[in-house]
Amino acid sequence: MKLKIYSSLSKKNEEISFVDENISMYVCGPTLYNALHIGNGRTLIVFDTLYRFFLKFCKKKITYVRNITDIDEKIIQKSQQSYKTPEEVVEENYKLYNKDKENLNLLTPNYEPFFTEYLPKMFDYIYDLIEKNYAYITHKNNIYFSIDKLEKYDFLQNIEDLNTSVRINNEDDKNNSKDFAIWKTTDGFGYNSPWGKGIPGWHMECVVMHQELLGNSFTLHGGGIDLCFPHHNNEIALCYGRNNTLCTNIWVHNGLLNIKEEKMSKSINNIILMKDIIKNKFDGDVFRYLYLSTHYRSPLNYSEDKLENSLKNIKKIREFKFKYNNFLNKFCESVYSDHLLEDFNTPSLLNYLHNKIDDFIQSIDLKEKQIIYTTILNTLYMLGFNLSIRTKLSEKEINKLTEQRWNLKKNKEFAESDKIRTLLHNNFIEIEDTSYGYIWFYV
Ligand SMILES: [Zn+2]
């Protein structure tokens, strides 16, 4: 059994044997200079779902690393603007990040390293690069990676094709304008190093963490497509310089999330933060549905209509789960193969599950209904949907209210009975009247 997944390095689908092989994956986590936006949420969900897939089907060891960037130029800039220390900026955003992770129902990776714990390891790495002539120290005491040493530098991206929005810093102490900083000497905030006070280059940070936690070679590296160049391209250059490997052949990138066809950016003030929108109405399941109903590599054009549509679909799924929970049984079918094995096609799997819900409703065979119900539920859980009860009302309160409503209705006091129905609806409970009486269920 193999998962075919597109690699930005080879520009084609690569195969991963996931049943009897160890799996190790590294995903670039957030830089804690700000609260997460809904584009960050997409990356988190895509790779959380891939991790869940491996957990479900891999019989060997799985190691998932999702790092935390706790120092870089953006964090220092934010600390200066807000009169806080970089540590305070990180701590504040770390709390928000943890809340987002909980809301999104993310599994905890095996490792969530903070870069600053790896500083001494980075110094060793830099020494090695300097010794191998892949890095040089300048008169300003900055250290750069020397791309002229490489036979080829365009690993993930043809640099000449890049638009001007991806800027290459052209400091005057570089040998080649494309050389990138792995250590920058600073006047203000910085860490002590063998080369004086300074801060690490971002690309260097991830490389040190995956080297330490996953070794010279691992199964796949993931992140948002916006990290392809320069971040991931330069990670490959660093690995190549030090270890003569590309660390992995499989570089998986999820597409961007755009707001009404436009990229999220500070300059047009269209950034939507996760914490501002993930609330009671649009919970983690709604966002997971939104993200997984678009293929992970396609751009996702976010709009309120799209979010409402995800809510509608999640409501249908919840209704199915709670209304028919007496069909739960231990038999189910494996449905991942046709959909996820082909470049992790989650939208196709979700469509399939919706069709299966229709099959369930139409079927009159009890055994078949049990198998369909259990298969759908197990697959949804495997994809990371929570589908938990959302109401704050106790069962006793619900029974009392539904009974009251039923008696009012029998007495033809429709206005009063509808009031209770609305109250229940607002508390995520639906009622259905049948020829035998009524049933209520959670949604
Ligand atoms: Zn990274």
Give the pLDDT confidence of 423-441 residue by residue, as tens digits: 999 999 999 998 889 999 9
Q: What's the gap in Å between 332 CA and the centre of ligand 1? A: 39
Residue 264: inside a domain = no
pLDDT band at 338 (very low <50, low <70, confident <90, very high): confident
Share of the chain above pLDDT 90, in %: 88
Q: What's the gap in Å between 207 CA and the centre of ligand 1? A: 7
Residue 272: inside a domain = no
Residue 203 belongs to domain with CATH number: 3.40.50.620
Residue 192: inside a domain = yes
Residue 86: inside a domain = yes
Please check whether residue 186 is in contact with residue 167, taking contact to mean a CB–CB distance below 8 angstroms: no
Q: What's the gap in Å between 347 CA and the centre of ligand 1? A: 27
60 and 149 belong to one structural domain: yes
Buried b (16+ CB within 10 A) or exposed e, 190-201: bbebebeebbbb
61 and 149 belong to one structural domain: yes
Q: What is the structure's pLDDT at 265? A: 86
Total number of domains constituting the chain: 3
287 and 222 belong to one structural domain: no
Q: What's the gap in Å between 232 CA and the centre of ligand 1? A: 7
Distances (CA, A) of 153 to 149, 385, 412, 434: 9, 41, 78, 68
| Domain of 76, in residue numbers | 2-258
pLDDT at 167 over 50: no
pLDDT tens figures, 5-39: 999 999 999 999 999 999 999 999 999 999 999 99
378 and 403 belong to one structural domain: no
Q: What is the structure's pLDDT at 267? A: 85
88 and 14 belong to one structural domain: yes
Q: What is the structure's pLDDT at 89? A: 98
pLDDT tens figures, 35-79: 999 999 999 999 999 999 999 999 999 999 999 999 999 999 999
88 and 118 belong to one structural domain: yes
Residues 240 and 236: their CA atoms lie apart, in Å, by 6
Give the HSE-up count for residue 151: Cα atoms under 13 Å, Cβ half-sphere. Answer: 2
Q: What's the gap in Å between 432 CA and the centre of ligand 1? A: 51
Residue 389: inside a domain = no
Residues 254 and 231: their CA atoms lie apart, in Å, by 15
Residue 18 exposed, middle or buried by CB count within 10 Å (0-12, 13-18, 19+): buried
Last residue of a domain, one of 382, 404, 426: 382
pLDDT at 165 over 60: no
Q: What is the structure's pLDDT at 168? A: 55
415 and 376 belong to one structural domain: no
Residue 388: inside a domain = no
Q: What's the gap in Å between 105 CA and the centre of ligand 1? A: 22
Residues 96 and 75: their CA atoms lie apart, in Å, by 15
Q: What's the gap in Å between 211 CA and the centre of ligand 1? A: 12
pLDDT at 170 over 80: no
- Residue list, CB under 5 A from ion ligand 1: 28, 206
pLDDT tens figures, 74-114: 999 999 999 999 999 999 999 999 999 999 999 999 999 99
Share of the chain above pLDDT 70, in %: 97
Residues 349 and 15: their CA atoms lie apart, in Å, by 20
Q: What's the gap in Å between 151 CA and the centre of ligand 1? A: 23
428 and 343 belong to one structural domain: no
217 and 319 belong to one structural domain: no
Last residue of a domain, one of 382, 413, 432: 382
Residue 223: inside a domain = yes
Q: What is the structure's pLDDT at 418? A: 96
20 and 155 belong to one structural domain: yes
DSSP 305-345: HHHHHHHHHHHHHHHHHHHTGGG--S-----SHHHHTBT--
Mean pLDDT (the chain) is: 94
Q: What's the gap in Å between 201 CA and the centre of ligand 1? A: 11
366 and 400 belong to one structural domain: no
Residue 270: inside a domain = no
pLDDT tens figures, 369-390: 999 999 999 999 999 999 999 9
400 and 376 belong to one structural domain: no
Over residues 202-230, the mean pLDDT reads: 96
